[in-house]
Amino acid sequence: MRDSSWEMQKKRKLDYTKAVRKRNLSREIYHMDWYKDLHTYSKNKIHCSCGMCRFRNAWEPDRKPMADVRRIESMEYQLAEYYKGA
């Protein structure tokens, strides 16, 4: 089994590459840096509505967030229970 220092190094590298990708997206789309340091980008504080960042994409345009799916299922269940008892 590998030690935790190796896992932390792997996570740091992943966070760094993710932050660089987000910085490059902001430079390419908005032609400016949203934040002055990479640390803020790695904390997922950048909010972009482009097709690469947002939840829906070209292959699944009508995909809903899981919170909405759960809420709809809960309401359908409550309606079914209501009509059973009525």
Do 31 and 72 share a domain, yes or no?
A: no
Do 11 and 45 share a domain, yes or no?
A: yes
Do 1 and 37 share a domain, yes or no?
A: yes
Residue 3: pLDDT above 70? no
pTM greater than 0.75: no
pLDDT of residue 42: 78
Do 65 and 85 share a domain, yes or no?
A: yes
pLDDT tens-digit profile of 7-46?
888 888 888 888 888 888 888 888 888 788 888 887 765 6
Do 10 and 46 share a domain, yes or no?
A: yes
CB atoms within 10 A of CB 42: 19
What domain range is 70 assigned to? 61-86
- H or E stretch covering 51: none
Number of domains in the chain: 2
Distance (Å, whole) CA 77 – CA 80: 5
Do 33 and 66 share a domain, yes or no?
A: no
